[in-house]
């Protein structure tokens, strides 16, 4: 019996014979688990001393000690430790827990379950929590010291393994070792071994009688489960060929060989053969040529050697710095072959802009696990949302028993959780995935007494994490995410600063947005039917202490855009229900955009969505709304788009809005169809080549699937696009489509692309297989794999699409037609369309702007001449637009040795090439022409950019200083004349700005190109 009288059950089953991991395996597992400065990547207790890092020697010693400690822990845990599995307050099971010899699973015994069901894969572990860190343990383990408790959260459904260890040392060893092993399991090296681990798992599941081999019948069932459609005759033939020892069954090695033979992909082999200098292997240079020629990347030789070291599975081939077709396949399945651009997985955006200039990943009614009427409320919902990157959570606060405020969906049957417990969870998990500010959106329905309790909990529990500084009311714009790094902001109503006591404010209540009896909803306006009048918002008393927790995110009632433009403060924000937000984003989008440049806005689902369904966030983003709150507990198309949007910028939960949504001197119209001033459209070509290991819906038994792929672009109305492939019958294992789709994106920086795989069903609705969504701007060019996800956003094991992506700016599409033809540059110049500046009939604006029309034409000439000649030179040398200038120069010099020697000279700062032979080939002539035209463009850029940029900048500054005469038009967009003035001013200013920024960057680029040319060609001012 336990101390409280609960039963601790024991099983009489004997323990299985244990093997321990080899020293080599332990060394491999612990290698790289510390950072270069000696700091451990394993989360330590707050009271543990940090490793000494004052100098390199002590840092190295600390690192060695940490690795040795981790190795010792793994040895200990592989031998097994006693623990109690907590099933309920009264039911607890004594078990021995251990790491399996391959360090891939946590297993336990005794148990009546099969071996597969009494273990958890390390890769599936989502989180390891020490203490009573779950609601379950807080109620079921009150008699057990918190220092002994821990929870392993795993799987796509967030299953919990709640344990009590015998000692705190055991508990800490498990937490530290598992955290490290989970991190290692997600490394690129382990990802490259994922298929072998998956095959082993499939093998074990198919081995019904657990004899270590698969019979013909078991193979037939497994192949069907894997969506491999072979006749029984073909399966028998393959089985016989794979059964090399003629035992009548396939062991794991034989099964793996059979699967890999079946999984050989002709499209990968063909691509490999195209670049491999020998039949069977790629060299480092071959791999680099592939990256330049196909992937639009130019990695160094050292980087390519690293790719081989990471992905090549055959040691002998790896030692020769070569790559086999298997290694090439794994390479394309790794991060370097991912459709999601590698750079987007890091924080690369400017985080010093005002907070209103960012989209913020946000949750609605975060506490709910299910529907809005009867569903359970849970601390786990907050933890999951925060760990998924959410940076704004909602707390619906009401008076609770015993003076303890609670959180639940008021006036419903949803369960209640303590406000205090939620704040403690927020403290623990707010910065688990991002260091940027967490916003607590408080919906306050509490009495003053319990509001004081709320304020005390936030102040005491959050401590220094809570942003408590008095706001600077002289500010015209909000502070930045960097200013609020690792700080928690509270959003709510605030009393006037001069008020000394509690005071009245309007109650926060989303339910107030629901239509009342006698009303109907028409967009954002509520129209009366009959004589029933809408009541005013209810007033509540606001605690002075709670009010003091509010600073830069103050909730105010929204009156009108005009009132906000006239007297709104940057720290004042309003919330908009779905209906009102949709109406404003549709009918007053330009007003909404202007409002959102200075002030935050929050949108939330309609109260009628009692099933916790979601609305489309894209129209709100198009209007510049920052906090577009969704029901995170509901997996749906809208949540897929939201996840896709916030994948970028390292998944930190903050995405910098496109420039035209935050520019202080212009407006934005989401209804644009042909052109957005200041934005360069792009053309996208996506070829859906094939699919791999597409499972049955829900992995249930049934017929082999009939898959098709659907492409969706979500953006401004002009960019919305949907298409689909044909259906492939009876093949989920390796379907081949080879279908190409083209689309133009007018505003690529505000678009999300979604790949969706479906199983066609002629008798009912098509079934969902998997999807992946990402920002269009993060789409990687070349041959790429799309790693499909479950509806929950979790990885769909081994399921991928293989595609080819081409991304081109509109100008490049035109330029390519004239590259390599006689007088191509002259023909491009003849077709050139110069930007036109619109007169506003306002002298102080028109004079400086229209007076610089000549500079605009010059800027256009400099920009387009350089862009065209650079592209022309790269194409002449056999490369694409992203190739480095070094590769092109090497090719040019190679041509000169093989075809015709060249004479290189420099006159007046311009490099010039002349052929040194009479018979010049067409290829060589094109290279020489392209080189000379490029150098003319470089010289023009370096000579004339500074004066041109200075003139344009001066004109812009003059117009900004006179902005007051245009600002009223920006605020009166309902008037046609004012709107036209605002549109013309926007177009002119963004044209100036585009050329100023473009030419400044171009000059830097041209300087680098010229320097590289001079270094490689070793040319000085004198003739060579």
Q: How far is CA 507 from the centre of its chain?
A: 36
d(Cα 331, Cα 319) in Å, to the nearest integer? 17
How far is Cα 328 from Cα 825, in angstroms, rounded to an integer?
40
β-bridge partners, 519: 528
DSSP 8-state class, residue 619: H
Distances (CA, A) of 834 to 235, 565, 676: 66, 35, 16
Give the torsion sign (CA, 26, 29, 31, 35).
negative
Cα–Cα dist 787/332, whole Å: 11
Q: Strand runs (DSSP E) across 715-821, as ranges?
A: 721-724, 736-745, 752-759, 767-775, 782-789, 795-809
| Residue 573: closest CA among 544, 602, 546 | 602
Cα–Cα dist 950/49, whole Å: 56
| Three-class DSSP category at 882 | coil
718 φ, ψ to 5°?
-70, -20
Nearest to 172 by CA among 180, 183, 182, 161: 180
The closest of 555, 613, 615, 610 to 579, measured between CA atoms, is 615
Instruction: For residue 398, give the 3-state DSSP assignment.
Output: strand
Q: What is residue 161's three-state secondary structure?
A: strand
Which one is catalytic: 409, 429, 785, 804? Answer: 409
Among residues 102, 81, 107, 82, which one has the least CA distance to residue 16? 107
Interatomic CA distance for residues 743 and 747, integer angstroms: 12
Angle at the Cα of 166 from the Cα atoms of 164 and 168, rounded to 5 degrees = 85
Task: Answer whether 69's CB lies under 8 Å from 42's CB.
Answer: no
Active-site residue flag, 357: no
Q: How far apart are the first and last CA of the chain?
A: 95
Largest separation between any pair of C-alpha atoms in the chain: 102
Task: Output the six-digit token pair for 231.
Answer: 């006749």
Q: Token digits for 967?
A: 């600002």
Give yes or no for a contact between 838 and 870, defined as CB atoms under 8 angstroms apart: no
* Closest C-alpha to 208, from 199, 218, 219, 221: 218
Residue 98: beta bridge partners? 107
Q: What sign results for the dihedral spanned by CA atoms 812, 813, 814, 817?
A: positive
Element (H, E) at 1017: helix 976-1017
Tokens of 761: 């069903």
Question: Is the CB of residue 48 less than 8 Å from the CB of residue 175?
Answer: no
CA of 662: how far to CAs of 355, 474, 714, in Å? 11, 20, 21
DSSP-derived pairing of the beta strands 682-692 and 601-604: unpaired
* 3-class secondary-structure state, position 463: helix
Cα–Cα separations (whole angstroms), residue 795 to 58, 260, 520, 792, 800: 40, 22, 43, 9, 10
Query: What is the pairing mode between strands 550-555 and 488-492?
Result: parallel
What span, in angstroms and rounded, lies between the C-alpha atoms of 430 and 487?
A: 9
From 390, 410, 386, 385, select the one nearest 400 (Cα to Cα). 410
Active-site annotation holder among 154, 296, 357, 364 = 364
Q: What CA–CA distance (Å, rounded) separates 941 from 870?
A: 12
What phi, psi does 54 have (nearest 5°)? -70, -30
Q: Tell me the catalytic residues.
A: 364, 409
């Amino acid at each position: 019996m336990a101390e409280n009288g609960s039963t601790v059950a024991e099983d009489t089953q004997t323990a299985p014979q244990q093997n321990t991991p080899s020293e080599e395996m332990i060394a491999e597992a612990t290698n790289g688990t510390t950072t270069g400065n000696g700091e451990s990547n394993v989360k330590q207790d707050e009271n543990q001393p940090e490793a000494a890092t004052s100098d390199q020697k002590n840092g190295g010693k600390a690192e060695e000690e940490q690795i040795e400690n981790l190795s010792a822990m793994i040895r200990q845990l592989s031998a097994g430790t006693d623990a109690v599995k907590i099933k309920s307050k009264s039911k607890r099971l004594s078990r021995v827990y251990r790491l399996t010899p391959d360090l891939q699973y946590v297993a336990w015994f005794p148990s009546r379950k099969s071996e597969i069901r009494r273990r958890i894969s390390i890769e599936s572990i989502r989180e390891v929590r020490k203490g009573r860190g779950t609601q379950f343990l807080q109620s079921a383990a009150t008699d057990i010291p918190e220092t002994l408790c821990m929870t392993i959260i795993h799987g796509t459904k967030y299953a919990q393994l709640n344990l009590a260890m015998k000692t705190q040392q055991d508990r800490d060893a498990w937490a530290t070792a598992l955290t490290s092993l989970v991190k290692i399991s997600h490394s690129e090296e382990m990802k490259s071994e994922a298929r072998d681990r998956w095959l082993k798992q499939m093998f074990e599941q198919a081995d019904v009688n657990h004899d270590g081999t698969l019979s013909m019948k078991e193979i037939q069932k497994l192949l069907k489960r894997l969506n491999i459609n072979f006749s029984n005759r073909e399966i028998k033939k393959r089985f016989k060929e794979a059964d090399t020892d003629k035992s009548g069954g396939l062991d794991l090695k034989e099964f793996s060989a059979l699967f890999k033979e079946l999984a050989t992909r002709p499209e990968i082999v063909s691509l490999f053969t195209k670049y491999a200098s020998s039949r069977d292997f790629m060299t480092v240079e071959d791999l680099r040529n592939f990256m330049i020629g196909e992937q639009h990347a130019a990695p160094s030789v050292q980087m390519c050697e690293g790719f081989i070291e990471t992905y090549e599975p055959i040691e002998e081939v790896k030692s020769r710095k070569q790559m086999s077709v298997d290694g090439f396949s794994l390479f394309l399945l790794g991060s370097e072959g991912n459709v999601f651009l590698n750079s987007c997985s890091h924080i690369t955006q400017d985080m010093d802009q005002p907070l209103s200039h960012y989209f913020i990943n946000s949750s609605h009614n975060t506490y709910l696990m299910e529907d809005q009427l009867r569903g359970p409320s849970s601390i786990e919902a907050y933890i999951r949302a925060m760990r998924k990157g959410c940076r704004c959570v909602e707390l619906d606060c009401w008076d609770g028993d015993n003076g303890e405020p609670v959180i639940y969906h008021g006036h419903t049957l949803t369960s209640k959780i303590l406000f205090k417990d939620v704040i403690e969870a927020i403290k623990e998990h707010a910065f688990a995935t991002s260091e940027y500010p967490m916003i607590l959106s408080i919906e306050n329905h509490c009495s003053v007494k319990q509001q004081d309790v709320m304020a005390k909990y936030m102040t005491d529990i959050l401590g220094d994490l809570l942003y408590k500084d008095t706001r600077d009311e002289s500010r015209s714009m909000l502070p930045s995410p960097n200013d609020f790094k690792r700080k928690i902001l509270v959003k709510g109503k605030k009393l006037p600063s001069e008020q000394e006591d509690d005071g009245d404010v309007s109650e926060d209540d989303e339910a107030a947005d629901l239509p009342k009896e006698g009303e109907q909803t028409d967009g954002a306006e509520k129209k009366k039917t009959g004589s029933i009048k809408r009541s005013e918002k209810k007033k509540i008393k606001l605690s002075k202490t709670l009010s003091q927790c509010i600073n830069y995110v103050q909730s105010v009632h929204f009156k009108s855009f005009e009132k906000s433009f006239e007297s709104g403060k940057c720290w004042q924000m309003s919330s908009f229900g779905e209906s009102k937000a949709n109406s404003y984003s549709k009918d007053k989008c330009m007003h909404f955009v202007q409002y959102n440049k200075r002030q935050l806005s929050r949108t939330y689902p309609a109260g009628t969505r009692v099933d916790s369904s979601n609305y489309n966030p894209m129209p709100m983003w198009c209007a510049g709304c920052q906090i577009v709150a969704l029901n995170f507990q509901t997996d749906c198309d809208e949540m897929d788009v939201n996840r896709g949007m916030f994948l970028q910028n390292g998944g930190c939960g903050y995405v910098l809005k496109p420039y035209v949504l935050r520019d202080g001197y212009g407006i934005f119209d989401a209804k644009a169809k042909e052109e957005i001033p200041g934005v360069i459209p792009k053309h996208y070509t996506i070829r859906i080549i094939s699919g791999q290991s597409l499972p049955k819906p829900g992995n249930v038994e049934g017929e082999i699937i009939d898959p098709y792929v659907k492409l969706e672009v979500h953006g401004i109305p002009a960019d919305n696009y949907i298409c689909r492939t044909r259906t492939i019958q009876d093949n989920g294992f390796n379907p081949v489509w080879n279908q190409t789709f083209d689309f133009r994106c007018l505003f690529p920086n505000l678009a999300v692309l979604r790949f969706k795989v479906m199983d066609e069903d002629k008798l009912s609705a098509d079934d969902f297989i998997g999807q992946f969504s990402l920002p269009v701007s993060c789409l990687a060019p070349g041959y790429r794999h799309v790693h499909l996800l479950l509806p929950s956003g979790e990885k769909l094991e081994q399921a991928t699409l293989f595609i080819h992506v081409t991304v081109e700016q509109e100008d490049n599409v035109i330029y390519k037609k004239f590259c390599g033809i006689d007088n191509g540059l002259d023909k491009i110049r003849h077709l050139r369309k110069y930007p036109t500046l619109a007169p506003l009939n306002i002298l102080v604006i028109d004079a400086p702007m229209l007076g610089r029309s000549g500079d605009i034409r010059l800027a256009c000439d400099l920009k387009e001449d350089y862009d065209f000649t650079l592209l022309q030179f790269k194409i002449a040398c056999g490369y694409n637009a992203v190739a480095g200038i070094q590769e092109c120069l090497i090719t040019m010099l190679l041509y000169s040795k093989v075809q015709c020697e060249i004479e290189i000279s420099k006159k007046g700062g311009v490099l010039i090439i002349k052929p040194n032979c009479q018979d010049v080939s067409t290829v060589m002539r094109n290279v020489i022409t392209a080189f000379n035209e490029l150098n003319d463009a470089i010289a023009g850029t370096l000579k004339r950019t500074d004066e041109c940029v200075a003139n344009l900048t001066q004109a812009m500054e003059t117009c900004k200083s006179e902005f007051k005469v245009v600002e009223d038009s920006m605020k009166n967009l309902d008037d046609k004349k004012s709107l036209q003035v605002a549109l013309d001013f926007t177009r002119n200013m963004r044209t100036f700005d585009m050329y100023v920024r473009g030419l400044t960057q171009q000059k830097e680029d041209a300087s680098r190109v010229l320097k590289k040319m001079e270094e490689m060609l070793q040319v000085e001012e004198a003739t060579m």
